[in-house]
Amino acid sequence: KELLETTAIDDNRIVQEVTIFADKVSIDEEVVRLKSHIEMTKATIRSEGSVGRKLDFIAQEMNREANTILSKSTDMEVADQAIALKTEIEKVREQIQNIE
């Protein structure tokens, strides 16, 4: 109680720290990038020619996004979904290995 009475609270600093924390745990950017990678995957599948390497690269990027989501997650349900996503991405990568 004494500490609170003698210590000045800087409201701007509190807002700044909360904003930084919210940005660190937000997965919005990763979700947007995952959606973009999914659209890129669809377009690549519809394209002509060799697509295997490009699809493999996209899958690697999707895996990175899933890893980031997992590392940022403070919610067990989100973490579980990120693990499930990583599992599915790995299955896709195994299939991509058979594509030229």
Task: Pick 50 or 10 by higher pLDDT.
Answer: 50
Give the length of the chain: 100
Whether residue 6 is contained in a domain is answered as: no
Tokens of 55: 């699809």
CB 37 within 8 A of CB 58: yes
Has residue 9 been placed in a domain?
A: no
As for how many domains the chain has, the answer is 1
56 is a domain residue: yes
- 14 falls within a domain: no
The model scores a pTM over 0.85 = no
Whether 19 is covered by a domain: the verdict is no
pLDDT tens, 14-69?
Answer: 888 888 787 778 899 999 999 999 999 999 999 998 899 999 999 999 999 999 99
